[in-house]
Chains A and B, each alone.
Chain A
Amino acid sequence: MENMTLIVSDRSLKTGLPDCGDTVLIDLTKQGIRNCMGCFGCWTKTPGRCVIRDDAVRIYPLIARSRRLLYVTRVRYGGYDVPMKTLLERCIPVQQPFIRIVDGETHHVQRTVVPKEAVILAYGTRDAEERALFRRLTARNARNMNFAAWRVVFCDETAVESQLRKELAAWENS
C-alpha cells in the first residue's frame, strides 16, 4: 500500500471508520506491547529489528511506510500517555544509531521512513499550558519521525470519534 493512511488509537472506536481502501487502524487497547528496555539491540545486534518480538514489531514498519499518519492519544503532563508513549519508544528500529545534522541540530539517521503528513488528535488536556507543551513536543517529534507536515488537534474526550471522522474526510477530499 504505497499511499497508506495509518491510524493508531489509544482507545477503541465505537463506530466503524469511513470506507477508505488504504486505511489501516491499530487499536492499541488490543495490542500487547512491552516497554523498550534500552538494549540498543535494534541498532547494534539485529539492525532494523527489535529484539522484543511482540505486537510492536508489526506496527513500527507500518508507521515507517505510511504517508498519512493519525495518532489518537490522551495527553498526560504535556506528553503522550503511557499506551502511545510505550509504542513510540518501541519505534527506534526505524532509526540508525548514527547521528546527522538536521536544521542545525543533531538527530539520528532514519532508515526507510516515508515523509508523512501527520495529525495528532489529542484529548484529555487540562489547560492551555499543557496544550502548548504538547505542541512543542510534537514539533520535536516531527524532526525525529520524518513528519513533512503535521497538525495537533485538541478535542474533548467525548468528541474524539467525530473529530477523527472530520480529519479523515478532510484527507479524502484533499
Chain B
Amino acid sequence: MGELLILNGSPRAPRSHSRRLADLAAGCWKGNTVCRDILGADLNGLCAETGRASHVLLVFPLYADALPVPLLKFLTALEESPPQSRPVVSVLINCGFLEPHQNDVAVEMVRLFCRQNGYPLGSALKIGSGEAILDTPFRFLVSRQVRRLVRSMSRGACRTFSVTMPLTRRQFVSASTAYWLRYGRSRGVTKSQMETMDIEPDGP
C-alpha cells in the first residue's frame, strides 16, 4: 500500500463538502495519506508532491457541468511541470443534482487528462443529490461507496461507482427546495426574494 495524496479541488476548499468526502476517503486508506486543498496552494509544490505519491485521489464538486477552475488550473500546471513518476489517478466527484450520471463528462475529462499525459487510470465514484447527503440518514450509502472506491483503488482496479439519495425526482425537488429555503432564511432572505427572475436588477 503506497502513499495516497488526496487533492481537494473545491472552490471553497476549507469549508467544502469535498473536504468531508476527502476525510472519509482518508479514513479508509490503510497506508500513508496526505490531504491538500488545491485552492491557494503552491501548484508547483503540489506537482512535486504528486510525483512522490503512488495514488492520487481528486475530490471535487461538479461546476458548470465540468471540472472546477482550481482543479483545471492544477491539471494544467501538472501538464507543464510533469513529475518523473506518475501516480494512479482516481476521482471522487459530487454534484447538486439527483443523477450521478451528470458527473460523467467531468470524470471523462480527468481520464482524458490521464491518457494525454501518461497517468494510469484509477477508479471513480460519482455522487448525486448535493451537499446535504452527508447530513441525512442516507450518509451510510455514501460511506459504503467511499469504502468500495478506496478498496478498488488499493487493488489498482479501474472501476466506477455511483451513489445518490434513494428518492424520486419529485421527492428530491421537494427536499432540495426545503434545504435552500432554510439556507436563505438563515441569511434573512425569503422565498420570493430567492425566486426573483431579475439578474443584476440594479445594474452592475
A contacts, CB < 8 Å to B: 35-40, 43-45, 47-49, 53, 57-58, 60-61, 64, 76-82, 85-86, 88-89, 91-94, 96-101, 104-107, 109, 111-113, 126, 129-130, 133, 136-137, 140-141, 144
Contact = CB atoms under 8 A, between A and B. Distances in A.
Given A44-B187, A94-B199, A112-B198, A82 B76 contact: yes
Contact of B204 (A47, A58, A144): A58
Nearest to A112: B197
B102 A141 contact: no
Classify chain B's interface size: 35 or more
B72 A85 contact: yes
B41 interface: no
Nearest to A101: B169
B66 A80 contact: yes
Interface of B: 10-12, 16, 61, 63-70, 72-73, 75-76, 96-99, 102, 104-105, 108-110, 112-113, 115-116, 169-170, 172-173, 176-177, 180, 183-184, 186-187, 189, 193-202, 204
B27 to A, nearest CB: 24
A56 B16 CA distance: 23
A10 to B, nearest CB: 13
Contacts of A57: 200, 204
Contacts of A61: 199-200, 204
Among A35, A44, A60, A107: residue with most chain B CB under 10 A: A44
A44 B182 CA distance: 10
